[in-house]
Structure 1
Amino acid sequence: MNRKRVAIQGIKASFHEEAAFKFFGENIDTIECSSFKKTCEVLKNKEADFVVMAIENSIAGSLLPNYTLLRDYHLCIIGEVYLSIQLHLMALPGVKFEQIKNVESHPIAIRQCIDFIDEYPHLNIVESSDTAACAKRIRDEQLTDTVAIANQLAAKLYGLEILERRIESNKKNFTRFLILSEHNGWDIPNPNKASLSFETNDEVGSLAKVLNIFAEHNVNLSKIQSMPVLGKRNEYNFYVDIEWEDTAAYKEALSKILRYTINFTLMGEYIKNENVK
């Protein structure tokens, strides 16, 4: 059986690869990409079977440009992963804390560890595009005066020693990742969550009517995100995640909201997953 090819933003041992392992298992081939747009291009060119894409963080909020990519590339959501973001301070084996001059990581990871970092004002903070890339650079260049903030997977892959564990300020920090495919041909058994995008009619109360239809059919609105429609003043795309127990009621709700929406897209039906580890 062919191994699944999964495109990730970042390099091996990044949080995106950790999320890919959590969803697919470790018997996959991860394809490293320098940007989220690149992951979409790799999928479009059939160089990957799936994309794992972060969409929101419990502290930093939504990754708004990724909603635009989902729509522009017509990607289908077939699953989701919630990953606990655990950040560790790591260095080459044998390096002592007293030797450290530089701390390297992704700017969001740095912000999430600011309470720890503030205790050591003499350290020079260096921002990078990827947490795992910082760990790899320390290994490749044998840097004895630099530490990385990254996950345990990075420490293991690049042979680094963890000096301080769980230095993130908020221990309940998690990121939600979407599992994406180029086509909607996946038969997901018994889906109970869906992602939609739509605009509403330019009438008073149009969005309220849509939301009321969901409520009347016991369909739970778990997220709503608005994005301006490019080039159209005061017009917005709404991205909505909904959950249900009664599939028939969910289908009926969808049919009823169509009269109040424009450019409606069902971006994917999948299994709700809030198993945060």
Structure 2
Amino acid sequence: MKTKIAIQGVKASFHEEAAFKYFGQDIETLECSSFKQTCEMLKQGKADYVVMAIENSIAGSILPNYNLLRDYRFHIVGEVHLNIQQNLLALPGVKLSDIQYVESHPIAIRQCDEFLSDHSDWIIKEGLDTAGCAKKIKEEQLTNTAAIAGEFAAKIYGLQILEKRIETNKKNATRFLILSNEVVEQKGANKASLSFQTGNGVGALAAVLQCFAEQNVNLSKIQSMPVVGRRNEYDFYVDVEWKKQADYDAAIRKVLKHTVNFSIMGEYIKNEKV
């Protein structure tokens, strides 16, 4: 039985690429139309894992996905970074001068705004998924439309690459989380994702951050999200990294004294960017 991975998007999407990069090729990817649907697949036991984008080096954090992490309480068992290279894809034989419409995911469009501004006559349409837009061109044989998507999508859907590497910033990377319904023990874990709330007093958050600093635990990310229905209250999501397990354990013991609703969302092995 192949491991089943729920992904947002269709075959050849960046989520599928991330799944292959983390798990290898011998997996079954389950196409989902939304991130919420991927979570439902995992909750119902139809998928073994979810691969979920959480931040992009250009577009920033994907905030709705933090809400899903809070609501579903899955365990983060790993992470993977993917360098995102965007290309302009069209049917074989179509020329740049034939293009009237360009379709892609809103974030992909934003990543290519410099290239697109050079073609102000094109009508830009937002789609649900980069690879999905490529698939649509193939299925509907659209000769006046191009998609912004990855090289993998061109290969899978038999499209030609009209223009390569059209992203504005060539250091464009997305970080994906690997989510599981079960706690998966990670030997050699050196990174954790935590969530908590603090009091409203002066320096409440600073006191928490100081606990990590004192124990030589590096804070690699902090994200705040409003607590639904409660004014001036926030959930804080932090990623921390450590070299010595004892330092991390001591930091957690200290942090517990300064926080409420503290949760370890996952302890896993840090994935170095490629």
TM-score (norm 2): 0.98
- Tell me the secondary structure at the aligned position of residue 31 of structure 2: strand
Q: How does 1:123-202 map to 2 (within 5 A)?
A: 123-184=122-183, 186-202=184-200
Q: Which moved more, 1:121-130 or 1:167-176?
A: 121-130
Aligned to 2:86: 87
CA distance in 1, matches of 2:145, 2:96: 10
Asked whether 1:260 is paired with 2:235, we answer: no
Q: Which amino acid aligns with 1:144?
A: T
CA distance in 2, matches of 1:27, 1:117: 37
Aligned to 1:235: 233
| Equivalent residue for 1:220, pick from 218, 221, 224 | 218
Q: CA deviation at 1:72?
A: 0.8
Q: Which runs of 5+ in 1 are unaligned?
A: none
Q: CA deviation at 1:260?
A: 0.6
Q: CA deviation at 1:79?
A: 0.5
CA distance in 1, matches of 2:232, 2:98: 55
Aligned to 1:97: 96
CA distance in 2, matches of 1:218, 1:205: 20
- Tell me the secondary structure at the aligned position of residue 103 of structure 2: strand
- Tell me the secondary structure at the aligned position of residue 132 of structure 1: helix
Q: Which moved more, 1:201-210 or 1:250-259?
A: 201-210
CA RMSD of aligned residues (A): 0.9
Aligned to 2:242: 244
TM-score (norm 1): 0.97
Q: CA deviation at 1:93?
A: 1.1
* 4+ long deviations beyond 3 Å: none
Q: Which amino acid aligns with 1:14?
A: S
Q: Which runs of 5+ in 2 are unaligned?
A: none
CA distance in 2, matches of 1:43, 1:116: 38
What are the superposed Cα offsets for residues 148-197 of structure 1, whole Å, 9 maximum, x if unpaired? 1100110010000111100000001111100000121x121100000000
| Equivalent residue for 1:207, pick from 205, 216, 228 | 205
CA distance in 1, matches of 2:84, 2:13: 11
CA distance in 2, matches of 1:202, 1:145: 56
